[in-house]
Amino acid sequence: MADIRHLASQLHVIAWSAVRRPATDPWGSAPGTREERRTGSLELLAIYSKLVKVLQRRIELTIKDALKAGADYGHVAAACGVSRQAVRQRWMRRAAGSRWHEMRPPSWADRPAGGEPGPAVVVRLAGGPHDGGRDLASPGQILMYEAGGPSPDPHDYVPLLAWYVPSQDDANIYVFAGAERDRRPADVAGQRPGSARRPKPRVYELAAEFNVGSKFVMDELKQMGEFVRSASSVVEHPVAQKLREQFYAQTHRRSGFPG
């Protein structure tokens, strides 16, 4: 494991580089006036407070990753340096408090204006029905997904649109901004990603989506235990979604993209 003391020193260097001048580093030995030291202390306090929020969100997403990868609460507790019970209770409270369907979506006025999009990068989704997921996003883009909403009938499906917007504190995270009832016509709604009505994708369609060859997709599906005969074979929606997550994770590792 990396030397935490060294990482702490690096963290301070990074935080201090974002401080507006004139100010004096309260952790340093450089002389400065009382006002400059006060300014430096308050600037660092604001930056450290924001970093705490960023790290907390990343801790939650990393816990989710660890549990999905087969770790148990004992493993997570050992990594966090706390008790197994503390981690389990904290995670259960977090899951119980996810009432995403009662939140409001951003207004159209809040969405970024048109223009040339920047290069897409892999981002993590935090909160809401897609918490912990990955997607590709251009800077400033607002991501939209279909999600099944709550209904008096547990077998019923209420179509909702869930919105994720760029985090103000972390460029690698998109945070849930709310969900609204989808009022678009059924024939249009049936073509949205995640819709239960849309046709199942075929191997060659997934290959085009990933910008790879059909053979690559077929090999990946076979490794997942799925049987496909040709590039025109259909793929079940849950399998296609799992394949997308694996592909984005592989892209994430190859690019060295943080978070």
Model pLDDT, residue 124: 92
Asked if the model's pLDDT at residue 111 lies above 70, the reply is: no
Cα separation, 188 vs 123, whole angstroms: 27
pLDDT digit string, tens, across residues 11-58: 999 999 988 878 898 888 888 888 998 999 999 999 999 999 889 888
pLDDT digit string, tens, across residues 164-223: 889 988 989 998 888 777 665 554 444 444 444 557 788 888 887 777 888 888 988 988
Does domain 199-259 fall into CATH 3.40.1190.20?
A: no
Mean pLDDT of the chain: 77
Model pLDDT, residue 106: 57
Kind and range of the H or E run holding 162: strand 158-166
Q: Could you tell me which of 64, 55, 59 has the C-alpha nearest to residue 8?
A: 55
- CA distances 192 to 184, 236, 240, Å, are 11, 16, 15
Q: Are 84 and 73 in contact (CB under 8 A)?
A: yes
Q: Are 106 and 165 in contact (CB under 8 A)?
A: yes
Model pLDDT, residue 189: 45
At 253, is the secondary structure helix, strand, or coil?
A: helix
pTM of the model: 0.58
pLDDT digit string, tens, across residues 81-94: 888 888 877 777 66
Domain edges within the chain: 4-96, 100-195, 199-259
